[in-house]
Amino acid sequence: MVTAWWSPQLNALFGSLVVAAGAWLAWDSFTLWEVALVAGGVAGFLIWQGRTIGLVWAWATLLLGLESLAWPIITMIQFRSATAEPTDEQMGTILSAVLMGLFSAVFWITFSYGFFKRAGRPSTSSSTDTTESRPSGS
């Protein structure tokens, strides 16, 4: 398969949009400029670190996992700054954020681990033929 020189950069752009959408979902109060700032910063990071398409998506999914870990903390801080004692509805929201945040974080970080592990392998896989050594029969 022939890959063009711009392919990792295009994937870095797509990955930055995905991470920016995750940041926008985690922080409800992000403005369009803040989302664009996050997307630009992540795109720069992904272009810098992502020499291949696999590495671009490995870093993007790792950042999504870290966002998922931060989501329950952000939710708790938002409710804590709004009121001194959270209501039952807010406690339910916090519980949902903790459960879904941990589930999502484990998923995305595991997914990124697979991408990093795959990116560490050589691109041309030389198959090692393991032939069974059979004693020559007479």
Per residue in 73-124, pLDDT (tens digit) is: 988 888 888 888 888 898 998 899 899 999 999 999 999 999 999 988 776 5
| CA distances from residue 74 to 26, 67, 93, 129 in whole angstroms, order as listed | 7, 10, 12, 52
Q: Are 53 and 115 in contact (CB under 8 A)?
A: no
Q: What pLDDT, in 10s, does the model give residues 16-57?
A: 999 999 889 888 778 889 999 999 999 999 999 988 899 999
Rg (CA), the chain: 22
Q: Could you tell me the pTM of the whole model?
A: 0.78
The angle subtended at Cα 51 by Cα 48 and Cα 52, nearest 5°, is: 135
Is residue 101 within 8 A of residue 68, CB to CB? The reply is yes
